[in-house]
Amino acid sequence: MPFVSIRITREGNTVEQKTQVIREVTETLQRVLGKSPHLTHIVIEEVDTDNWGYAGQTTTEFRRQAVEHKA
């Protein structure tokens, strides 16, 4: 039974987009690995950008700085 966990930042991802991701990941597992869609579980976790960090800072701050540097 495949279980796929996908974490993305929460920034206005639509239900339609998430549905498409779930459908396409399920189809890929079926096509490539022969896994049954009825046994495949996909979980999408959306994380606030204040709770996602890299390079020593939150994603919120990193993006704020990127915008300021463009200006």
Neighbour-count burial for 37-58, b at 16+ CB within 10 Å, e otherwise: eeebebebeeeebeebeeeeeb
What confidence category does residue 4 fall into, taking pLDDT thresholds of 50, 70 and 90?
Answer: very high
The pLDDT value given to residue 24: 98
pLDDT digits (tens, 9 = 90+) for 8-61: 999 999 999 999 999 999 999 999 999 999 999 999 999 999 999 998 999 999
Residue spans of the domains in the chain: they are 3-69
CB contact at 8 A, 43 and 6: yes
CB contact at 8 A, 46 and 6: no
- What is the model's pTM? 0.84
* Catalytic one of 1, 2, 6, 43: 2
The pLDDT value given to residue 71: 74
The superfamily CATH assigns to domain 3-69 is Macrophage Migration Inhibitory Factor (3.30.429.10)
CB contact at 8 A, 47 and 8: yes
**Catalytic annotation present for 37:** no
The pLDDT value given to residue 8: 97
